[in-house]
Structure 1
Amino acid sequence: MGNASNRETTLVDAALRSISALLPASWSLRTEADGQGGPLRADALAVLTGSDGSTVRFVVEAKPSGASVGVLLPRLREMAVQFELPVLFVTDYVGPALRDALAAEGFSYADGTGWVRVSTTAPLILLTGRGADRSPRARESSAVARLDGIAAGRIIRTLCAVEVPFGVRALADRAGVSPGSVSKVLPTLAREGVLDRGGRGAVMAVRRRALVRRWVQDYSFRRTNLSLRHFIAPRGLDRTQSRLAELEQPTTLTGSAAARRYLPDGATSVVPLRLLALYSSDPEALAAELRLVPADPAEANVVIAAPQDERVLDMPLAPAALVIADLLTLPGRADAEAEQLADALALTDPAWKD
Structure 2
Amino acid sequence: MVSDALERIAELLPASWRLDERPGKHDRRFDAFVELVGPNETRVPFVAEVRRSGTVSTSLLISALRELNRVSGLPVLHLSDYIGPALRDALTSEGFSFADATGWVRLTSAEPLVLLTGQGAARSPRTPRTSAVTRLNGIAGNRIIRALATADLPVGVRGLAGLAGVSPGSVSKLLITLASEGIIDRGENGTVDAVRRRALLRRWTSDYSFATANSSVGYFIAPRGLDRTLARLADQDDVAITGSAAARRLLPESLTSVVPMRLLAIYAARPAELVSALGLIEADPTTANVVIARPLDPEILAPPDEDDLATAPLPLVMADLLTLAGRSDAEAEQLMDAFLTADEKHAEERR
Question: Do structure 1's residue 23 and structure 2's residue 13 form an aligned pair?
Answer: yes
Deviation at 1:240, TM superposition (A): 1.2
Residue 209 to residue 310, structure 1, CA distance change in 2 (3 Å): same
Separation (CA, whole Å) in 2 of partners of 1:165 and 1:176: 18
Q: Deviations over 1:246-304 (max 9, x none)?
A: 22x12111111111222221312221111110100111111222221111111100000
Residue 314 to residue 242, structure 1, CA distance change in 2 (3 Å): closer
* 2:277 alignment counterpart: 289
Q: Matches of residues 228-247 of structure 1 in structure 2 within 5 Å?
A: 228-247=217-236
* 2:321 alignment counterpart: 327
* 1:91 alignment counterpart: 80
Residue 92 to residue 212, structure 1, CA distance change in 2 (3 Å): same
Given that residues 194 and 347 in structure 2 are in contact (C-alpha distance below 8 angstroms), is that contact kept between their aligned partners in structure 1?
no
* 1:311 alignment counterpart: 299
Deviation at 1:193, TM superposition (A): 1.0
AA in 1 matched with 2:122: D
SS where residue 311 of structure 2 aligns? Answer: coil
SS where residue 342 of structure 2 aligns? Answer: coil
Separation (CA, whole Å) in 1 of partners of 2:47 and 2:177: 28
- 2:203 equivalent among 203, 214, 227: 214
- 1:272 equivalent among 250, 260, 284: 260
TM-score with structure 1 length normalisation?
A: 0.93
* 1:42 alignment counterpart: 30
Deviation at 1:161, TM superposition (A): 0.9
Given that residues 278 and 304 in structure 1 are in contact (C-alpha distance below 8 angstroms), is that contact kept between their aligned partners in structure 2?
yes
Given that residues 206 and 351 in structure 1 are in contact (C-alpha distance below 8 angstroms), is that contact kept between their aligned partners in structure 2?
no
Given that residues 140 and 170 in structure 2 are in contact (C-alpha distance below 8 angstroms), is that contact kept between their aligned partners in structure 1?
yes
Given that residues 208 and 352 in structure 1 are in contact (C-alpha distance below 8 angstroms), is that contact kept between their aligned partners in structure 2?
no
Greater alpha carbon shift after TM alignment, 158-167 vs 237-246 = 237-246
Given that residues 255 and 323 in structure 1 are in contact (C-alpha distance below 8 angstroms), is that contact kept between their aligned partners in structure 2?
yes
Separation (CA, whole Å) in 1 of partners of 2:346 and 2:265: 23
Separation (CA, whole Å) in 1 of partners of 2:27 and 2:43: 19
Given that residues 63 and 91 in structure 1 are in contact (C-alpha distance below 8 angstroms), is that contact kept between their aligned partners in structure 2?
yes
- 2:333 equivalent among 339, 349, 354: 339
Separation (CA, whole Å) in 2 of partners of 1:26 and 1:71: 37
* 2:342 alignment counterpart: 348
Given that residues 15 and 110 in structure 1 are in contact (C-alpha distance below 8 angstroms), is that contact kept between their aligned partners in structure 2?
yes
* 1:151 alignment counterpart: 140
SS where residue 272 of structure 2 aligns? Answer: helix
Give the superposed CA RMSD.
Answer: 1.6
Q: Deviations over 1:2-46 (max 9, x none)?
A: xxxxxxxxx221110010000001100011255447xxx210011
Unpaired segments ≥5 residues, structure 2: 304-309
Separation (CA, whole Å) in 2 of partners of 1:168 and 1:34: 41
Given that residues 19 and 116 in structure 1 are in contact (C-alpha distance below 8 angstroms), is that contact kept between their aligned partners in structure 2?
yes
AA in 1 matched with 2:207: D
Unpaired segments ≥5 residues, structure 1: 1-10
TM-score with structure 2 length normalisation?
A: 0.93
Q: Matches of residues 59-78 of structure 1 in structure 2 within 5 Å?
A: 59-66=47-54, 67-78=56-67
Q: Deviations over 1:129-163 (max 9, x none)?
A: 00000101111311112111100010000001111
Given that residues 197 and 340 in structure 2 are in contact (C-alpha distance below 8 angstroms), is that contact kept between their aligned partners in structure 1?
no
Deviation at 1:51, TM superposition (A): 1.8
Separation (CA, whole Å) in 1 of partners of 2:50 and 2:302: 46
Residue 135 to residue 347, structure 1, CA distance change in 2 (3 Å): closer
Greater alpha carbon shift after TM alignment, 236-245 vs 83-92 = 236-245
Separation (CA, whole Å) in 1 of partners of 2:212 and 2:128: 28
Separation (CA, whole Å) in 1 of partners of 2:82 and 2:123: 8
Structure 1 stretches (4+) deviating beyond 4 angstroms?
33-37, 351-354
Q: Deviations over 1:214-237 (max 9, x none)?
A: 111111110110110111011111
Given that residues 198 and 340 in structure 2 are in contact (C-alpha distance below 8 angstroms), is that contact kept between their aligned partners in structure 1?
no
SS where residue 16 of structure 1 aligns? Answer: helix
Deviation at 1:314, TM superposition (A): 3.7
AA in 2 matched with 1:23: L
SS where residue 241 of structure 1 aligns? Answer: helix
Greater alpha carbon shift after TM alignment, 19-28 vs 250-259 = 250-259
Separation (CA, whole Å) in 2 of partners of 1:51 and 1:234: 69
AA in 1 matched with 2:45: R
* 2:178 alignment counterpart: 189
AA in 1 matched with 2:241: L
Separation (CA, whole Å) in 2 of partners of 1:339 and 1:204: 24
* 2:307 alignment counterpart: none
Greater alpha carbon shift after TM alignment, 307-316 vs 196-205 = 307-316
Separation (CA, whole Å) in 2 of partners of 1:102 and 1:133: 17
**Identity, % of aligned positions:** 56
Given that residues 80 and 100 in structure 2 are in contact (C-alpha distance below 8 angstroms), is that contact kept between their aligned partners in structure 1?
yes
